[in-house]
Amino acid sequence: MRLTRYFLPVLKEAPAEAEIVSHRLMLRAGMIQQLAAGIYNWLPLGFRVLKKVERIVREEMDRAGAIEILMPTIQPADLWIESGRWDAYGPEMLRVLDRHERRMLYGPTNEENVTDIFRRHVKSYRQLPLNLYQIQWKFRDEIRPRFGVMRGREFLMKDAYSFDLDAEGARRSYDTMFVAYLRTFRRMGLTAIPMQAESGPIGGTMSHEFQILAKTGESHVFYDQAFEEIDFSAAELDIEKLKSLYAATDDKHDPARCPVPPERLRTGRGIEVGHIFYFGTKYSKPMRATVTGPDDREIEVEMGSYGIGVSRLVGAIIEAHHDEHGIVWPESVAPFRVGLVNLRPDDPSCTAMAEELYARLCNAGVEVLYDDRDERAGVKFATMDLIGLPFQITVGPRGVKEGKVELKERKSGARTDLDPEALLARLLA
Ligand code: 5CA
């Protein structure tokens, strides 16, 4: 992509309303733009990252055996009256009337809707286990939307729903999602600690939140210092050990019952990027979602639900990966892999070299953002550092004379002068 043909509205100054670094950087890098409180436009650079995060989430859900569907954002009230949540949910639910005065809502979550799909089509225990998921926009009329996409009113969520014949099966489904979550966050360069949590309006008896430790996190968390010794990048994580270690959010933490001695107990702040729930028959009972068991008896299915904050993750990744110059994207979610800077578009030899590199990288399938603007070098470098692409290539008159360009790794800042063939070999390796 040529920057002269792209749409990248970077800002020099961070808008005053942005309190945390990820919000400031997302606005400055032209990733998002607020439309109304807690409601954002996703501009091209931000949208590319959102899609990459979404893709990783999708790949790991598919790998775990979940099946993707898409449910509407608008739901009829009837289903929620059936489950009992129409009255229970409160003012966070955006309720609307259609032209026939029928009560509708913009979905804050989809347990009712998916249970309705299930009960209409699944009749036998032989069709279980089943896990259906979607990646879809949600609306919650949060009392205090803030921190940009971290606590929005409209936000993108991955929500999965498992159906099993009995509690043992439901626990297996829960554990499968637990493992998938650790993999998912790890692929984005995040260490997410699973913590026992309250299940709130979703309901149920077992629940874990996945929390990224960050000073700007909204949750107050408690955890065994042993978590700090775990290598979350290890090929095989010991799930049983992870589950046995103590970690809890403040609404679940009870100092009187905490099994961790005070000297080993760490406290801090976390960003909740995922939340999983086991709630048994909370929805299948009132909505009569049953299957016939092996002995022909009708059995209410055991359910769980599993959320990931897809749009929140974009902010959370920035909280974990930035420096004083801007964002430092992990490669897996970077909007482009390479930034190519032509320092002198007015110099034919620089432009010939930059154009050749651009063409060859594009042909090799590398995502390149090519700064071909007629701008000062300082502005170009600052833009590249701000938007945080993993690799920057600089083509300038001095290097070109010697047949060299500079490769800079954004994360370490390490710079190397290379001839174009060596550069391509390195980036395509
Ligand atoms: N039905 C369940 C799981 S599918 C559910 O709704 N869980 S949740 O309420 O915990 O939300 C799932 C995830 O969505 C959260 O872990 C969080 O990462 C994200 N999320 C929740 N509220 C917001 C919000 N206001 N803005 C951005 N992300 C949010």
Q: Please report the atom of ligand 1 found closest to the CA of residue 150.
A: 27
Q: Please report the atom of ligand 1 found closest to the CA of residue 313.
A: 18
| Ligand 1 centroid from CA 253, angstroms | 20
Please name the residues in contact with 296: beta carbons below 8 A apart, sequence gap of 6 or more.
none
* Per-state percent for the chain, helix, strand, coil, to nearest 5: 35, 30, 35
Q: Which two tokens stand for residue 140?
A: 């919650």
Q: Residues for the chain: how many in total?
A: 429
| Ligand 1 centroid from CA 108, angstroms | 9
Closest-CA residue, ligand 1 atom 1, reads: 109
pLDDT at position 231, please?
A: 82
DSSP state of 301: P
| Ligand 1 centroid from CA 308, angstroms | 6
In the three-class reduction of DSSP (H, G, I as helix; E, B as strand; rest coil), residue 20 is classed as coil
| Ligand 1 centroid from CA 405, angstroms | 45
- Which residue in this structure is represented by tokens 């996190």? 217
| Ligand 1 centroid from CA 344, angstroms | 47
| Ligand 1 centroid from CA 105, angstroms | 17
> How many alpha carbons lie under 13 Å from residue 231 in its C-beta half-sphere?
4
| Ligand 1 centroid from CA 312, angstroms | 9
Q: Please report the atom of ligand 1 found closest to the CA of residue 209.
A: 16
In 3D, which of 130, 157, 156, 135 has the Cα closest to residue 66? 130
Closest-CA residue, ligand 1 atom 23, reads: 151
- Which residue in this structure is represented by tokens 């110099």? 347
pLDDT at position 181, please?
A: 96
The type of residue at 110 is N
In the three-class reduction of DSSP (H, G, I as helix; E, B as strand; rest coil), residue 222 is classed as strand
| Ligand 1 centroid from CA 156, angstroms | 9
Residues 52 and 34: their CA atoms lie apart, in Å, by 21
Q: Give the E-state strand segments of 39-184 in sequence order.
A: 39-42, 67-68, 74-76, 94-97, 103-106, 130-139, 154-164
Question: Hey, what's the torsion of the CAs at 197, 202, 204, 208, to 10 degrees?
Answer: -30
Residues 299 and 92: their CA atoms lie apart, in Å, by 33
Q: Which two tokens stand for residue 383?
A: 């833009």
Instruction: Ligand 1 pocket test: pick from 40, 155, 157 the residue with the most ligand atoms within 8 Å of its Cβ.
Output: 157
Sign of CA dihedral 236, 240, 244, 249: positive
Residues 122 and 131: their CA atoms lie apart, in Å, by 12
> How many alpha carbons lie under 13 Å from residue 403 in its C-beta half-sphere?
4
Q: Please report the atom of ligand 1 found closest to the CA of residue 111.
A: 1
Q: How far is CA 170 from CA 122, 129, 214, 280, 428, in A?
A: 17, 8, 32, 8, 44
Q: Which two tokens stand for residue 408?
A: 């800079």
| Ligand 1 centroid from CA 109, angstroms | 8
Instruction: Ligand 1 pocket test: pick from 163, 249, 275, 276 the residue with the most ligand atoms within 8 Å of its Cβ.
Output: 275
Q: What is the CB < 6 Å shell around ligand 1?
A: 109, 111, 140, 142, 151-152, 155, 157, 159, 202, 272-275, 305-307, 309, 311-312
Predicted TM-score (pTM) of this structure: 0.96
Domains and CATH numbers, the chain: 3-323 (3.30.930.10), 336-428 (3.40.50.800)
Counts of helices then strands in the chain (DSSP H, E): 12, 23
Q: Please report the atom of ligand 1 found closest to the CA of residue 273.
A: 18
| Ligand 1 centroid from CA 288, angstroms | 26
Q: Indicate the angle between helix axes 44-63 and 167-187, nearest 10 degrees.
A: 140
Residues 154 and 302: their CA atoms lie apart, in Å, by 29
Closest-CA residue, ligand 1 atom 5, reads: 307
Please list the alpha-helical segments (H only) found in 189-293. Answer: 239-244
Residues 156 and 154: their CA atoms lie apart, in Å, by 7
Closest-CA residue, ligand 1 atom 19, reads: 309
Residues 300 and 306: their CA atoms lie apart, in Å, by 20
Q: Which bin fits 51, alpha (ψ -120 to 50), beta or left (φ > 0)?
A: alpha
pLDDT at position 201, please?
A: 80
pLDDT at position 199, please?
A: 82
Per-position pLDDT tens, the chain of length 429:
999 999 999 999 888 889 999 999 999 999 999 999 999 999 999 999 999 999 999 999 999 999 999 999 999 999 999 999 999 999 999 999 999 999 999 999 999 999 999 999 999 999 999 999 999 999 999 999 999 999 999 999 999 999 999 999 999 999 999 999 999 999 999 999 999 988 888 777 889 999 999 888 889 999 999 988 888 777 777 878 888 899 999 988 999 999 999 999 999 999 999 999 999 999 999 999 999 999 999 999 999 999 999 999 999 999 999 999 999 999 999 999 999 999 999 999 999 999 999 999 999 999 999 999 999 999 999 999 999 999 999 999 999 999 999 999 999 999 999 999 999 999 998
